[in-house]
Amino acid sequence: MSVLTGKHLIDGQWCAQSCESFSAYAPQMDEFISPQFHSAGATEVNLAVQAAERGFDVIRQLSDHCRSELLTSIAQQLEHIRAPLVARCVQETGLSTARINGEIERTKKQLLHFASLLMEGTWRRACSASSDVTSHPDLHLSSVPLGPVVVFSASNFPLAFSVAGGDTASALAAGCSVIVKAHPAHPGTSEMVADCILSALKHLDIPPCVFSLLQSKDHEAGVALVTNPAVKAVGFTGSIQGGRALFDIASQRPEPIPFFGELGSTNPVFVFDSTFANGVDTFAQAFLSSMTQGAGQFCTSPGILVLQKSEHLDTLLTSLAAVIPLQAKQTMLSPHICSAYRRATRQRQSRSELNTLAVGRVAENAQSQAHIALFSVSAQDYLSNPELEHEVFGPSTLIVICQDFAEQLVVAKSLRGHLASSVFSGSDSEDRQQVAQLVDALSLKVGRLVFNGFATGVEISPAMQHGGPYPSSTMAATTSVGSRAIERFMRPVCFQSMPVDYLPVVLTSATADQ
């Protein structure tokens, strides 16, 4: 795609009927950039859903091999446009070239991971139970796709959790058609990636109704998609407020549908004093790097740090307070996100029970520049104010200071749900029993536990869990990263005493592939 159209992709055509439009904003340039993008209205939503209904009948009957080729082709198409895609994405997000290149690699890896999974032939978890006893019938269990899926792109991952990200890849792999609601923070990037998917569909002669992209800056299009009776599941990555509103809508439909939402998480980090046996510098550098990575806009950023009082703690706080004001400016994804972050940090600065340890400086007229902010609070005050656990999306962390391990454990048991948590401990054998107690308590609160490391890196692996108890996600038993992500968009069906001639195509094709 040499020129952006500013339109929606529906049934293989770039089209727009609504007169409402918006522009992308370039955070580093501090200005809006062309072209204008049309906002989807009721007509475009209905056309996209109608296309997805036809697309579902197409993709669910494709062989695993064909869907694997589709995912592989999308990854190849992304590589073909790497240079212009990186340039546009850097403009729209303010993220570095290295970060965007890394995210392209991750997006390709996700696509290829599911392509490989499809070729293994075991992803449906098919099994049979045959019996020679007449009173025990033959049973065959497999899985079928749910139907058309709506995916909401994330603001903070314009590629890996966006148009061709993990939700789209796993839904297509499962045999579902997909409608992506692009994020208004990076509409040009979204259009370019959607064109890659269209090119892959054309290359394989697959009807383009399998995939659609809708652009919109307001909430109406998203609500219309979630309420449409033809939509059978939703994948969402975003805020607690927005995600919970859509989750409630999905649950209250005449036919409720699964809403796989990743919402908010502060990913608490628990540190034992033995961690600092060889000094605090190594930990301080690693913490600061994790806290400020991507301007603190990672879903796994450390938003809470829980330590016990000690001389090492005093040294750590002094060191961080000295170095934070010297850190480079942090450019956030949009003025809206930056404004919300500034408002949240000002509120924390005004609270009497919080101690402001360090706050960086930025020009007030820079709409997307955020200051780094570090606060501390006693465990007693933290436990008395449960709202302090809420996520502050940006480069800020709250340090909770405990009198002893018993208080640390109380803090751990008080937590709501989070995507991840970390436990840091040195080689001191005296910590082992306490670490075990802490790990046990945290396992009930999070989806992933990291030992002596921060959770800001998420591996694409069959053993990965990216999802935790509410409010970190709406479906704690599922993951949005790794092989098991495909299970969100399919359901089991048992065929009892069914002759092979009458088994659905999805099963006969799986048998043929094996």
Question: What does the pLDDT read at residue 125?
Answer: 81
At residue 504, the pLDDT reads 66
Whole-angstrom distance, CA of residue 492 vs CA of residue 497? 16
At residue 83's C-alpha, the angle toward residues 78 and 87, to 5°, is 110
Tell me the average pLDDT across 204-225: 97
Residue 514: pLDDT over 50:
no
Q: What is the pLDDT of residues 312-341, one digit of tens each?
A: 999 999 999 999 988 877 889 999 999 999
Q: For residue 126, what are the contacts with CB-CB under 8 A and spacing of at least 6?
A: 140, 141, 142, 143, 507, 510
Under DSSP, the state recorded for 40 is P
pLDDT band at 139 (very low <50, low <70, confident <90, very high): confident
- Do 489 and 145 touch, CB atoms closer than 8 A? yes
Q: What mean pLDDT is predicted for residues 361-365?
A: 68
d(CA 512, CA 64): 10
Give the side-chain half-sphere CA count within 13 A for 151.
33
User: Distance (Å, rounded) from C-alpha 162 to C-alpha 467?
Assistant: 17
The 3-state DSSP class for residue 176 equals: coil
Closest C-alpha to 416, from 390, 449, 377, 455: 390
Domains of the chain and CATH, by start: 9-263+473-513 (3.40.605.10), 269-451 (3.40.309.10)
Q: Which residue carries 């969100």 as its tokens?
A: 488
Whether residue 278 is predicted with pLDDT greater than 90 in this model: the reply is no
Please report where in the chains the tokens 């999308």 appear, as a residue.
74
Tell me which residues are annotated as active site.
262, 299
Task: Write down the pLDDT at residue 133.
Answer: 64
Task: State how beta strands 149-152 and 233-237 pair.
Answer: parallel
Sorting pLDDT into bands at 50, 70 and 90, what band is 512?
Answer: very low
Question: Are 379 and 409 in contact, with CB atoms under 8 Å apart?
Answer: no
Q: Which of 146, 144, 147, 148 is nearest to 46 (CA)?
A: 148
Task: Assess whether pLDDT exceeds 80 at residue 364.
Answer: no
Report how far residue 466's alpha carbon sits from residue 428's, in angstroms, rounded to the nearest whole number: 31
Q: In this predicted structure, which of 130-139, 204-213, 292-301 has the lowest mean pLDDT?
A: 130-139
207 against 426, higher pLDDT: 207
User: pLDDT category, 1, cuts 50, 70, 90?
Assistant: low
Kind of pairing between the strands at 373-378 and 355-359: antiparallel
Higher pLDDT among residues 304 and 140, named by residue: 304
Judged against a pLDDT cut of 60, whether residue 508 lies above it is answered with no
pLDDT of 408 strictly over 50? yes
Residue 466 to residue 106: CA distance in whole angstroms: 15
What end-to-end distance do the CA atoms of the chain give, in Å?
A: 38
Residue 513 pLDDT class (50, 70, 90 cuts): very low
The two beta strands, 418-424 and 269-271, are: parallel
Instruction: List pLDDT tens digits, range 444-470.
Output: 999 999 999 999 889 999 999 999 999
* Average pLDDT rounded to a whole number, residues 158-169: 98
pLDDT of residue 507: 58
Cα–Cα distances in angstroms (integers) from residue 440 to residues 409, 410, 435, 448, in the given order? 10, 13, 8, 12
What are the tens digits of pLDDT across the range 220-260?
999 999 999 999 999 999 999 999 999 999 999 999 999 99
Percentage of the chain beyond pLDDT 90 is: 84
Q: What is the pTM of this model?
A: 0.94
Distance (Å, rounded) from C-alpha 2 to C-alpha 439? 52
pLDDT band at 510 (very low <50, low <70, confident <90, very high): very low
pLDDT at 511 exceeding the cut of 50: no
Q: Taking the CA of residue 394 as centre, how many other CA atoms within 13 Å lie in the half-sphere pointing to its CB?
A: 29
Q: What are the tens digits of pLDDT across the range 51-99?
A: 999 999 999 999 999 999 999 999 999 999 999 999 999 999 999 999 9
